[in-house]
Amino acid sequence: MPGTGAGMHPASTAESSETTPRQSARRTSFGSLSIQYDDRVLTPRAWTSAQSMWAADVSHLGPPGRLLELCTGAGHIGLLALSAGSRDGVLVDIDPVACRLARANAEEAGLDDRVEIRHSPIASCLTDDETFAIVIADPPWVPDTQTDRFPGDPLTAIDGGADGVDVARECLRTIDACLHRDGAALLQLGTVPQANLLGDWLSEQGSPDLAVDEMRVFGDRGVLVLLRRPGSDGR
Ligand SMILES: C[S@@+](CC[C@H](N)C(=O)[O-])C[C@H]1O[C@@H](n2cnc3c(N)ncnc32)[C@H](O)[C@@H]1O
């Protein structure tokens, strides 16, 4: 069950040797933020500040409500988006080390009183009645037959299943369960074919009630997809 107050989910507050800072602790600038991370999580990628900035842009015009980030890692994408506005946020990750780093980064950014960190799988991170105005999602997207191309990255952070979009589909189901009818979601994927695959899936009966509104391609680094409810007047 997710926590309801500000701060870390109760299940994640206990420090253990697995989640405490380690020798490989590093720091990088991400937009206006200084972000700590280590070799147990994905290294922050500078280009992904575009996801934060796009989320901040749609957030200015969006309905009232909180921002949700799925697959937050060290928290930098969601925190940078939140720092550009005044919404509260919930950041979710299945990895306890990522959650600890996200909490430290929220504190350092002065956002800890606006941010709740949930240590949870995507599929069970929400309570039944929760609604979010803006959702950011950065799931693993490497097909499972290709993860050995990235030996330095934690498997949980990159393994997207057979076609690379298994976890992205989970994100879209959770987004469908909580997105405000005039809200917006920004999903990060690896390639245009992956975005098209998900777009086709969304047009099938029984799929999440979401549609691709716009796609932005960042060379071979990744793709950002803006999703809204079909017929929404959120623009
Ligand atoms: C591609 S990484 C992105 C992390 C961060 N946004 C970044 O840019 O470095 C994906 C993240 O999703 C998390 N993750 C993978 N499967 C998950 C699941 N089923 N539920 C919640 N988080 C998950 C991983 O632990 C990892 O932190």
pLDDT, average across residues 194-213: 97
Listed by start position, the domains of the chain span 48-228
Confidence grade of residue 21 (pLDDT, cut at 50, 70, 90)? low
Select from 41, 68, 71 the residue to mutate for testing ligand 1; criterion: most ligand atoms less than 8 Å from CB: 71
Which residues lie with the beta carbon below 6 Å from any ligand 1 atom? 41-42, 44, 48, 71-73, 77, 92-95, 98, 121-122, 138-140, 156-157, 167
Alpha-carbon gap, residue 152 to 165, rounded angstroms = 21
Angle value at C-alpha 63, between 57 and 65, nearest 5 degrees: 100
Nearest CA residue ID for atom 10, ligand 1? 157
Name beta bridge partners: 37. 26
pLDDT tops 60 at residue 5: no
Comparing C-alpha atoms, which of 95, 65, 218, 102 is closest to residue 167?
A: 95
The CA radius of gyration of the chain, in Å to the nearest whole number, is 16
pLDDT tops 60 at residue 197: yes
3-state secondary structure of 47: helix
The overall average pLDDT reported for the chain is: 91
Q: b/e map of 72-95 (b: 16 or more CB within 10 Å)?
A: bbbbbbbbbbbbbbebebbbbbbb
pLDDT at residue 16, rounded to an integer = 53
pLDDT at residue 6, rounded to an integer = 32
DSSP class of residue 114 equals T
Confidence grade of residue 17 (pLDDT, cut at 50, 70, 90)? low
Q: b/e map of 218-234 (b: 16 or more CB within 10 Å)?
A: eeeebbbbbbbbeebeb
Confidence grade of residue 19 (pLDDT, cut at 50, 70, 90)? low
Q: Report pLDDT digits (tens) over 156-182.
A: 999 999 999 999 999 999 999 999 999
Q: Report pLDDT digits (tens) over 41-72.
A: 999 999 999 999 999 999 999 999 999 999 99
The domain covering 48-228 belongs, at the CATH homologous superfamily level, to Vaccinia Virus protein VP39 (3.40.50.150)
Select from 35, 42, 136 the residue to mutate for testing ligand 1; criterion: most ligand atoms less than 8 Å from CB: 42
